Amino acid sequence: MIDFHTHTLLSDGILCPAELVQQAKESGYRALGITDHVDSTNLDWIIPSLVRFCKEITRVENSIMIIPGVELTHLPPSLIKSYVSWARRKGAKLIVVHGETIVEPVPAGTNLEALKADIDILAHPGLIKEEEVELAAKKGIYLEITARKGHCLTNGRVASLARKYNAKLLINTDAHSPEDLMTSSRAEKVLLGAGLGMNEVKQAFQNSKNLLEKLSL
């Protein structure tokens, strides 16, 4: 399993990074992105802390790849581009933006401004517009199929529009606790439940591998 969207107690998860890594290893994970929620109050210390942690783990652990990242969350849309640059400068290898899920009051316009920026993944983008999916396809930004309760309610729309515009999909857990982590078999079922065919499921898994390879460079 490759999972690019997880949280620790550095934001609203319940595990410290080391415990999350251990739980992921026990679940058979190949790679784990740690993407805690950030805004201007915590970006300066969360990213360097995760970068340092990932470097330390990488020196002694070779069975799982750990990627330091962030999930830019509930920002005014006009600030997203500058925060993406800020996060990159601080050392984040993986940039996720908290999309316009229907179960939280995310500012309108977040999806569009995120897709205009240099991000890797637009998470749980909710009732994403067709022109936004088309932009994601043009820029090669991954759209998330999520296993997260509530956020997953719009997976079907995301999958359908991604098919129409040939946008790239991948699956993440948005894990906040160890129970949220999942096997590849479980991930396959979530993708099928979103309406993907088996070949599309295989492509979603390949997309995760492709992004992992890019982040490994």
Q: Is the pLDDT of residue 34 over 80?
A: yes
* pLDDT bracket for residue 62 (50, 70, 90): confident
Identify the three-state secondary structure at position 90: helix
199-214 pLDDT, tens digit per residue, is 999 999 999 999 999 9
Give bridge partners of residue 96 from the DSSP assignment: 71, 121
Please state the pTM of the whole predicted model.
0.97
* Count helices and strands in the chain by DSSP H and E runs: 8, 7
* pLDDT bracket for residue 155 (50, 70, 90): very high
77-101 pLDDT, tens digit per residue, is 999 999 999 999 999 999 999 999 9
Look at residue 61 in the predicted model and tell me its pLDDT.
86
- Residue ranges covered by each domain of the chain: 2-216
Burial call 55-92: b when 16+ CB within 10 Å, e when fewer: eebeeeeeebbbbbbbbbbebebeebeebbebbeebeb
Contact between 172 and 5 under an 8 Å Cβ cutoff? The reply is yes
How large is the average pLDDT for residues 29-40?
97
How large is the average pLDDT for residues 173-180?
98
Q: Is the pLDDT of residue 137 over 80?
A: yes
Give me the amino acid identity at 28: G
Look at residue 70 in the predicted model and tell me its pLDDT.
98
How large is the average pLDDT for residues 141-157?
98
Average pLDDT value for the chain: 97
Contact between 149 and 176 under an 8 Å Cβ cutoff? The reply is no
Percent of the chain whose predicted confidence (pLDDT) is above 70: 100
**Strand segments (E) across 108-174:** 121-123, 142-146, 169-172
Q: What is the signed CA dihedral for 136, 141, 145, 147, rounded to 10 degrees? A: -140
Task: For domain 2-216, give the CATH superfamily.
Answer: Metal-dependent hydrolases (3.20.20.140)
Q: Is the pLDDT of residue 217 over 80?
A: no
How large is the average pLDDT for residues 49-64?
93
Percent of the chain whose predicted confidence (pLDDT) is above 90: 98
Burial call 28-51: b when 16+ CB within 10 Å, e when fewer: ebbbbbbbbbbeeeebeebbebbb
